[in-house]
Amino acid sequence: MKGLLITLEGPDGCGKSTQIAFLKEYFEKQGYSVVETRDPGGTAISEQIRSVILDTGNSAMQDMAELLLYAAARAQLVGEVIKPAIDAGKVVICDRFVDSSAVYQGIARDLGIDTVYNVNLYALQGIMPDITIFLDMPAAEGIKRKKEQHELDRMELESVEFHEKVAEGYRRLAREYEERIFRVDAMLSVEEIREIIRKKVGSMINLSDKL
């Protein structure tokens, strides 16, 4: 049996980590084997690339170099973790994936969505999320939350205008790929968001013959 790839997306500070923990617990209670990972990251090599991308000392990084580094980290993650897990029939829950690059580099950096997907074509090895949960939150609120949690990294230190482009970019993707991207209002309570996601994923499992 083939597994399932679920990704969570949204502006910085939207609460992905909390919902990923709930989602992992939900699937495990249903008896599924779950792999939790993140993009960029999830492997020793990908985590090293992540450190380069987010290092505040790398302010001179070119936009295309940034896009290629994300794709390189993603290629390693897909080949080493995601593809083997899906082939083994497991549920993979990933904190961000290629849609992040479509929004951050494709839209906010103005490199173009098509450019992003073309660059990532080989990195993805034909794998796309079965469902993407988009936690929609105003950019200013997300950054405010991040500042309260920790010191900001290179991407989080971008201007408010940049993060507003990111938030609107996600909304654009959600409209264009509504069959895959499920929007949730991230300003709702943690419990309300958890229940909305649980119902959506639960109905998807019941209808799916993949698991």
Report domain extents, the chain.
Answer: 4-207
Per-residue pLDDT of the chain (211 residues; tens, 9 = 90+): 679 999 999 988 899 999 999 999 999 998 999 999 999 999 999 999 999 999 999 999 999 999 999 999 999 999 999 999 999 999 999 999 999 999 999 999 999 999 999 999 999 999 999 999 999 998 878 778 877 777 888 998 889 899 999 999 999 999 999 999 999 999 999 999 999 999 999 888 775 544 4
| 181 dihedral zone (left: phi>0; alpha: psi -120 to 50; beta) | beta
What integer pLDDT is reported at residue 1 of this predicted model? Answer: 61
Please give the CATH number for the structural domain made up of 4-207: 3.40.50.300
Please report, for residues 132, 134, 151, 200, the alpha-carbon distance to residue 207 in angstroms, rounded to integers and kept in the order given.
17, 21, 43, 11
Please report, for residues 28, 58, 169, the alpha-carbon distance to residue 69 in angstroms, rounded to integers and kept in the order given.
33, 13, 21
Chain centroid to Cα 121, Å, comes to: 17
